[in-house]
Amino acid sequence: MSMSTDPFKAGTGTIGTLRSRTVTPEMVHARVAELAFIDGRLSSETTMSDFARAKRELTGEPDPGTESTRS
């Protein structure tokens, strides 16, 4: 996937419960590149999963894999 493709738009994220900030596409791209590097890939070898994780981390959204379900 090319870094020029931006599947996410800037949004507002909550940091803790005290403040919120705007998450810019540049912030998402930087985190995507970090995630690829951590996984042993070049920044030009990003995945949609990297974008989803970066967006979740920066906006404070919960990871769908860690949400518990109640019966």
- Each residue's pLDDT, cut to its tens digit, for the chain (71 residues) gives 444 444 554 454 444 544 457 899 999 999 999 999 999 999 899 999 999 999 999 998 888 887 665 55
pTM higher than 0.85, yes or no?
no
Q: Which of 8, 2, 65, 71 is nearest to 36 (CA)?
A: 2
Alpha carbons 40 and 34: distance in angstroms, whole number: 10
- Residue 23 β-bridge partners: 11
Alpha carbons 65 and 10: distance in angstroms, whole number: 23
End-to-end alpha carbon distance in the chain: 39
- Size of the chain, expressed as the number of residues it contains: 71
